[in-house]
Amino acid sequence: MTTMEVGLLGIGAGLAIGLAALATGYAQARIGAAGIGALAEKPELTGRVILLLALPETLVILGFAVAAMIILLLGG
């Protein structure tokens, strides 16, 4: 592989995890704000709010998996 290909694969891996993390942070901020509002009115929704806050984390895990596959393409 040329140096250009290795560099582009590295940038791709960084973008995969970075953009996934940014999107997750944005989603969790919106869900958290709405969840706190819902909990103020109905405290029995605590379990659902926690579950909804955990769901966007799967996006980061998938971004990490994609980045790991790209890194494996680099040979190491």
- Concatenating the DSSP letter of every residue in 7-73 gives HHHHHHHHHHHHHHHHHHHHHHHHHHHHHHHHHHH-GGGHHHHHHHHHTTHHHHHHHHHHHHHHHHH
Taking the chain (76 residues) in consecutive chunks of 10 residues, what is each chunk's mean pLDDT?
Answer: 87 92 95 95 94 92 92 77
In the chain, the domains with their CATH numbers are 3-73 (1.20.20.10)
The whole-number pLDDT of residue 23 equals: 94
